[in-house]
Amino acid sequence: MFRVSLANAWRRIAAPDDATLDDLAHTIIAAFEFDMDHLYCFELREPNGRKLRVACPHETDAAAFTDDFALGELPIAEGGTMTMIFDYGDSWHFNIKLEEVSPSAKTDRRHVVAKGGEPPAQYEWEDEENWE
């Protein structure tokens, strides 16, 4: 179970351990009502302290890719955190905390189980009534 926050909004997301980071990215973007039209990556610290960057499959020069990295393979324990950076121009930083790994709460799909707050508008013009 992941708790994902952005600004004053948060979403709790359940996902099976065989889902990929790419699957999680798509679930996060949909949960915050953004359009999946930009590059993204995940950044986290491995147990040895080394920074790990896992990039979306559209990047060509990364050491690791989100579609090859299963959630069950993440080198973080319960309570551990990572960041998803979305849209390198606007640089949205989604803070992600692994709240719980529970074999008894197995799920076969990714879904939002709880939420709070309104997500920010992805684009400034979305807040304007007459942007034409």
Mean pLDDT for 56-66 is 92
d(CA 32, CA 78): 23
Edge-to-edge strand ranges of the sheet holding 9-14? 51-55, 40-45, 81-86, 92-98, 2-6, 9-14, 111-116
**In this predicted model, which residue has the larger pLDDT, 46 or 30?**
30
Confidence of residue 50 (pLDDT cuts 50, 70, 90): very high
The per-residue pLDDT for range 65-105, each reduced to its tens digit, is 999 999 999 999 999 999 999 999 999 999 999 998 876 55
What residue ranges define each of the domains in the chain, with the CATH number in brackets?
A: 2-105 (3.10.290.30)
> Which residues, in sequence order, are bridge partners of residue 119?
none
